[in-house]
Amino acid sequence: MWQFFHKLGSPKWFYGIATRLMPWLLVGGIALLLAGVVWGLAFAPKDYLQGNSYRIIFIHVPTAFLAQSIYIMMAVAAVVTLVWRMKLADLFVRSVAPVGAVLTFLALFTGAVWGKPTWGTWWIWDARLTSMLILLFLYFGVIALAAAIADEKSSARAVAVLVLVGVVNIPIIKYSVEWWNTLHQPATFKLTERPTMPAEMWVPLLLAVLGLYLIFGWLACLRMQTGILVREKRTRWVQELVRTGGH
């Protein structure tokens, strides 16, 4: 177990594993995502209440889901950074933060466009959309702080502290935004969480979520590899790797 943990901390070992994993992640991710999306777009039955606009769900829910779970993963990595000083964990945080931000933006965008036929306006200060917007701000904060501190070690730990402070706040933010929402407007038509979703709807949804997860894994591996190349460029194995063109 400890040996595994040590190995996991080794950039060289991780680089090799990532190279071997990435084709599978990419192919599996694209296949699952496309299957889910095509199924959802063309074959899933029409929703009796919202008509065809509900088909946005097949990308809205995966992006929203990923956006939230990426922040949780970053928090776990932040703990690892602070407790074990593992460099790869910090690399994970700064590699995936932009991915999280893009997916959060996509969740917001698809939610807003979905809102137009459903609510009649592009933007509504709905509890879910609002907490998503705040999550986007949290991502921006992490990215900005990661870029602002030059020293690698203190940058890693400062970002980790910020991510952890953010993750403590997320439930509080969610709760308070929901309360604020009930205070200012009666419960509106909810986008997701239909109580009775037939299998023809949730199976493609699940496929799309899994597919996007795999693509995220691929992106994380790729971006972490880039980070390793930059950080370890003085080591012999990276120079060897660069000379042979990455094989």
Partner 1 sequence: MPTDSSVRVRPLTAGPGVMAAMVAVVRRDLQASFRQRQDLLNPLLFFIMVVTLFPLGVSPEVSFLQQAGTGILWVAALLATLLSLDHLYRHDFDDGTLEQLMLQPQPLYLLILAKVLAHWLVTGLPLVLLAPLLGVMVHLEGNSIGILCLTLLIGTPVLSLIGSIGAALTLGLRSGGVLLSLLIIPLYIPVLIFGTGTVAAAAEGAPVSAYIALMGAFLVLALTLAPFASAAALRISMSNS
Partner 2 sequence: MMAFDSLAAFIAMEGHGPYVWTCYGVFFLFVGGLMAWSIRQRRDVMRSQLRELERDSTARAGREAQPAASFTRINPS
In 3D space, the residue among 127, 138, 99 whose CA is nearest the CA of residue 193 turns out to be 127
CB 69 within 8 A of CB 75: no
CB 128 within 8 A of CB 111: yes
Site string for partner 1, 66-95 (x = CB under 8 A): ----------------x-------------
203 scored as a contact of partner 2 (CB under 8 A)? no
Question: Within a 10 A sphere around the Cβ of 34, how many other Cβ atoms?
Answer: 13
In 3D space, the residue among 136, 145, 128 whose CA is nearest the CA of residue 99 turns out to be 136
Residues between 127 and 166 that touch partner 1 (CB under 8 A)? 134, 137-138, 140-141, 144-145, 148-149, 151, 153-154, 157-158, 161-162, 164-166
Residues between 75 and 134 that touch partner 2 (CB under 8 A)? 98-99, 102, 105-106, 109-110, 113-114, 116-117
Residues between 150 and 189 that touch partner 2 (CB under 8 A)? none
Q: Which one of 121-129, 167-175, 192-200, 209-217 is the stretch in contact with partner 1 (CB under 8 A)?
A: 167-175
Q: Classify the C-alpha dihedral 71-75-78-84 as positive or negative.
A: negative
Residue 51: φ, ψ to 5°: 70, -145
Q: Give 35's contacts (C-beta < 8 A, 6+ positions apart).
A: 204, 207, 211
Q: Is 246 helix (H, G, I), strand (E, B) or coil?
A: coil
* Nearest distance in Å: CB 58, partner 2: 9
Q: Which one of 9-17, 78-86, 137-145, 212-220 is the stretch in contact with partner 2 (CB under 8 A)?
A: 212-220
| Sites of contact with partner 2 (CB under 8 A) | 37, 41-46, 51-53, 55-56, 59-60, 63, 98-99, 102, 105-106, 109-110, 113-114, 116-117, 212, 215, 218-219, 222-223, 225-226, 229-230, 233, 238-239, 242-243, 245-246
